[in-house]
Chains A and B, each alone.
Chain A
Amino acid sequence: MYSFTHHAASSVADAVKSVGEGKYLAGGHTLIPTMKQRLAQPGHLVDLNKVAELKGISDNGSVLTIKAMSRHAEVASSDVVKKAIPGLAALAGGIGDPQVRHRGTIGGSVANNDPVADYPAACLALGATIVTDRRRIKADDFFQGLFTTALEDNELITAFEFPHADKFAYAKFRNPASLYALVGVAVAKRGSDVRVAVTGAGSDGVFRWTDAEAKLASNFSASALDGLKASASGLNGDIHGSAEYRAHLIGVMAKRAAAAA
């Protein structure tokens, strides 16, 4: 790592005020490995781990609110989440490995818009609202391409609001080496509105698969997707899976998510 200065923020206001040209440090499970490889060189880190107001999970009967510094393990084991949107708890329980889930946070995962992260698919499929220190951003407007979001320079995510859905599930095919998503598909149904969001596969990050949404809107079942193929154009290809294979897996995972929802 290159050298940097460190500030343990005491509040959201303190964090935003002190970040300057630096970076926020949440669970650190993306940022620290990147810094260890000297691929990132922040001169200053504002550590969010002691900010009490960024922690907590609550539900008002129609909207589940997860504060940004909630660890994946907390989301996975939360009775509130399991009752409100059980598929979201299952998603959190499948991120990385147990040690990673004890440190990694939903805020850190989404703020980075890593193309192989799981939460962006849930945000997009569920139509989440991303709450920051200064505004509310719809998930549809938030994800703007590979590692790119609507966040302004020192803007800090404070919470996520997930409106309940009739059905929601996430199915993932993992990169066997890294355990990140090679292809992850989130499927949500709310009344006649169906959303299918795909992570891991797209070269621009998370995206919606509208063809599948149309099929599921008329018949919400795995068999409704029989014969439907995702397009391989715009998908990543690497040693773990060609674009063609990822396209195929999108179909398989969408069916599995629809069956599980």
Chain B
Amino acid sequence: MIRPEEIKMSTEETGKWGMVIDQDICTGCQACVAACAMENNITFVGEKDSGYGRSMHWIRIERFWEGEYPEVKMTPNQPMLCQQCGSATCEPVCPAFATVHSQAEQLNLQVYNRCVGTRYCANNCPYQVRSFNWRDYKRPEPLSNQFNPDVTVRRRGVMEKCTFCIQRIHKAQDTAKSEGREVVDGEFTTACAQACPASAITFGRVDDPESLVSQLARAHGHGVKHLEELGTLPNVTYFKGG
């Protein structure tokens, strides 16, 4: 637990938890999207609302192409999720402190029960990865039995977004603590990384040079952070064109 005297603003370039995504090996299979929805109790908005830009996935696979038909060339798929910015633009604009920076985990938190639904955070997110509960969507019958008990459900009028599966982080930390040790790299991972059949997504401690994410970042050497020029200090690194 953090003590008040330890509090300092986190302005370092590197956060604590991070992710590397290798776009070259992403097949666009959407397994991460499905796994995330299962893990985080994301509602199903249905075809109509989804088609109108109201899908609520916390991670999405962006597909692009170059050229005009028929000379179309696919470019690598781009999984897009909350970048857990070190200097998040969504945070200061919330009037209710519903989205704040976790000083312990260096993550960007979303506090559902504080949210009043002004949607300013979503407008101010350059990555457009926040999803809003436009309605109280119904869950088809058997699926209502598969809620993850570690994650709250959200009602209409509330903003939500990727949490880097903070429930898994906490579970791993609690287990490690009860066993009197530190969390080991690779001991747990996020739902999207776990589900990825091509292992395109890797999750871990970016502040630990020996972790897999840090090693991958070094090995590739040419990772990019999206919209880095905005100064948001994102914690997700993308590899493309290796």
Are A and B a genuine interacting pair, yes or no? no
Binding site for B on A (CB under 8 A): none
Identify the B interface with A (CB < 8 A). Answer: none
